[in-house]
Structure 1
Amino acid sequence: MKPLHLIAFLLFAHFAVAQSALHHAGNMRVHFGGSNSGLGLHTNFTNNAPFEQNEGLVGFYGNSSIQVRGNTIPTFRDVEFMATSEIFLHIPVQVQNNANFIEGNVNTPTDDETVYLNFMEHGFSASENDDSKVTGFAAVNNRDFFRFPVGDHHQLRTLTMESEGSTPLAVCAYFFEDPSTPLSVPGAFDVEEKVRDIGTVTNREFWIFQSDVPAKATISWNTRSALGLIPNATLEAIIVVGWSKSSNQWVIIGNSAISGDVTEGFVTSETFVPSDYAAITFGTIPLPTDTFAVNNPTLGNYFLSPNGDGVNDFLVIDNMDESPNNSLRIFNRLGQKVFEKINYTNEFGGDSNTGSFVMSQDVGLPEGIYYYLVTLDDLNLQYTGFLFLDR
């Protein structure tokens, strides 16, 4: 005669198939009874009762997507993922020991940080790869070191946490999206909103990493990250930056270790409190200014004679291409602004484009001395000088 608990399980499983899901309403456990013991799920799983103290393996298998739902969090000792059409978690799932990634991603809602694959105090992952990892949020309990097996649908992009102490809960996800206009998460983290000590913030990817315990985070880049396209993206210039929740801008988290080159490598941040930041990613320190400033103590004074003879018809300021993000403002001797251009490329030919002087644009500005103010935003430099306009 078969054991009573096994008979109950077989009857329950038969009922579940008719419903296209296994519905757990109570009195089910997975027992360890040998190398082939465990529960294999080829259908959706709805958990509405405590499902814990499991000893054997629970596996998610098949070619169809599997949905995990319910009102009670299930806890598995060992779990295996081999579902080519992926597993979708609508409630948290807890792992006490090993989560083995073979094929198919484990997806969670990207707009809900409370739904995750949770690695408990002794939980760990194995074999995560580009085709099988957590796409969404992974979490960990009571640990001071953990490597989150997260990524997007195409690549594994882990984050390694090294905390100053055991963190009750840490949560992490990765997004291959522009932080300024993310599609998967609410809110935005404008890469142009940054402290002056940051040169550039990448617009290609970011991580969400939450924990109340001070920690260091190690993140890596590869060819898809395209850090080589960032101005000043030498290895020494790469830093970790974070979107500050308090100031709503990117600030420097820094780097305590770095290795690789601009094509592929990793960086470890300085110690920070992850929950103070909505997102973290790569940035660079600003372009070096010393050489330019030394070589260009002033930009000089200029003579302009816009008579169409091809000589001094326009104001040409040398070296402006060192800082494509620039501005030019020209003032008359009374301090009135007569010309302004953002990202100036030698357009000024003696005509006004601002203030009441626009009314005289058909005859141009009168002959005389003018003052200019040049701002080189990329280099954090400003220059002033004189301009003589000859009519």
Structure 2
Amino acid sequence: MLSQIVVGQQAFRNIGNIQIHDNGEIGFHTDLINDGTFDQNLGFAGFYSPDDRLTISGDNRPVFYNMEIDVFDDLYLEVATGVQNFQEFTNGRVQTPRNRGDITTSLDYLNDAPYNGENDNRFVDGYASLTGDLDFTFPVGDDFRLRPMRVTDGASVNTSRGAYFFEDPNFPNFFPERFDTTNLASNVLAVSIFEYWDLDGDTQTQVTLTWDDNSNIPTLVDDLENLRVVGWNEITQEWESLGNSVFSGDVSNGEITSESFIPDNYTVLTFGTSELLLDGDLQVFTAVSPNGDGNNDFFRIQGLANFPNNELSIFNRWGVLVYQRERYHEAQDDNGSDAFIGISEGRTTIAEGEELPVGTYYYVLKIDGQKDRAGYLYINR
């Protein structure tokens, strides 16, 4: 056994071969640097800090048998860290890199290791992985939101890895490409602009995604029968439907399970719909390109003149109101002179009179005597 405590750096550094034996316990109140062998452990390892952050780093992955995380300002992984038997979330999140070039730095659940104690303040903020044979729910989230994702048994024989991103897939921060929510396969009519998951794995599985109020499911569907798991096919550069085999909950909180697919065939996953909310006598033209060429210069809803008592509200991805108009059909009938042309309206909105940036927005249409309707539109200049 060879180890070294670097007092000046306030870290425990292993440069040799150490082991926690059966019934042994160790508590780390400092950073751990593992440059040696520290992956044949039994017993218990805890990470504790009541008022600061801790870091696990080094050249080699440490693997613990039982592991507790009680770190006020989060446990940061700069090297992959494994747990073989059980992991407890007591306080704080586990932060791992989100950049695609470093997704192997994750919290690794080995041999179907379970966990406990996850909530909106305690989860893996970044990537977690699983190697095993059983159903598994990734305890992943972003910001202070736990948004678990579940795979079926057998999906992780060769290791599955997953993370959750609370951001618009049109403008991802951690991927080299954008996932254009207007590029849709024939079996998809709309895609969420609020969030997405990354799931990696080469074994066929079903996946279950969860939603909450911030998912804004009513902007996609009012009937969960029409909700779908959708995936970005990197070859076709389109969002494809992955199905809806079962769902539960309501539009505020719930979960949906896909049909079987191979995760590595899709870069990211999110929610979509197979049916537009606006139907019947109404046709929505969701592309707005206000460049003066006469095509889609304003947001057009054909047939709205038949429903004169209406109010249209348009919001950006953060839920900020950028346009509002009563009796919207009159704005369209006047050649779009007072219709929505991608300009902020001001008043209680943002940057009055300025062009809104290219991107996806969502609208809510209220019609007297009918249920509110909602959907997406896309501004392109």
Q: TM-score range by the shorter chain?
A: 0.7 to 0.9
Question: CA contact under 8 A between 1:233 and 1:284: conserved in structure 2?
Answer: no
Q: Which amino acid in the other structure matches residue 46 of structure 1?
A: I
1:153 to partner: Cα distance: 2.7
- 2:73 — aligned with what? 85
2:63 match: 75
**Which residues in structure 2 correspond to 1:162-311 (within 5 Å)?**
162-163=152-153, 167-230=157-220, 232-287=221-276, 291-292=280-281
Deviations 1:259-286 (A, max 9, x none): 1111111100000000111100001113
* Matched position secondary structure for 2:214: helix
Unaligned 5+ segments in structure 1 are 293-318, 328-337, 350-377, 379-391
The AA in structure 2 aligned to 1:52 is: D
Which amino acid counterpart does residue 207 of structure 1 have in structure 2? W
- Shift of the 65–166 alpha-carbon distance from structure 1 to 2, 3 Å rule, reads closer
Contact 1:140-1:171 within 8 A present in 2 as well = yes
Deviations 1:123-151 (A, max 9, x none): 11111111111000000113242111111
Q: Which residue of 1 aligns with 2:46?
A: 59
Q: Distance in 2 between matches of 1:162 and 1:340?
A: 47
Confirm whether residue 151 of structure 1 aligns to residue 138 of structure 2.
Answer: no
Whether 1:32 aligns to 2:22 is yes
In structure 2, list runs of 5 or more residues that go unmatched.
301-331, 337-374, 376-381
Shift of 1:178: 0.7
Going from structure 1 to structure 2, the CA distance change for 1:187 and 1:163 (only over 3 Å counts) comes to farther
Provide the rounded CA distance (Å) in 2 between the counterparts of 1:237 and 1:68. Answer: 44
Q: What is residue 102 of structure 1 aligned with on the other side?
A: 90
Secondary structure at the counterpart of residue 267 of structure 2: strand
Residue 326 of structure 1: how far off its partner (Å): 7.0
TM-score (norm 2): 0.73
User: Aligned with 1:242: secondary structure?
Assistant: strand
CA distance in 1, matches of 2:219, 2:65: 45
Contact 1:197 1:286 in 2 (8 A): no
- Root-mean-square deviation (CA, aligned residues, Å) is 2.3
On the 8 A contact 2:278/2:284 being kept in 1, the answer is no
The 1:55–1:339 alpha-carbon spacing in structure 2 relative to 1, beyond 3 Å, is closer
**What is the aligned partner in structure 1 of residue 345 from structure 2?**
none
d(CA) in 2 for partners of 1:51 and 1:341?
Answer: 62
- Matched to 1:58, the amino acid is A
Identity %: 32
Question: For the Cα contact (< 8 Å) 1:167–1:211, is it kept in 2?
Answer: no
Pair 139,234 (structure 1): closer, same or farther in 2 beyond 3 Å: same
Q: Which has the higher helix share?
A: 1
Answer yes or no: is the 8 Å Cα contact 1:170–1:210 preserved in 2.
Answer: yes
Instruction: Find the residue that maps to 1:32 and give its secondary structure.
Output: coil
Q: Which residue of 1 aligns with 2:354?
A: none
SS of residue paired to 1:18: helix
Deviations 1:167-198 (A, max 9, x none): 21100001111111122444221211212321
How far is the alpha carbon of 1:346 from its aligned partner? 2.6
| TM-score normalised according to structure 1 size | 0.71
Contact 1:215 1:274 in 2 (8 A): yes
DSSP-derived class of the 1:236 partner? helix
Deviation sequence 1:10-58 (CA, Å, 0-9, x none): xx4xx3333311110113211234xxx4111111111011112211211
- SS class of match (2:38): coil
Letter in 2 for 1:61: Y
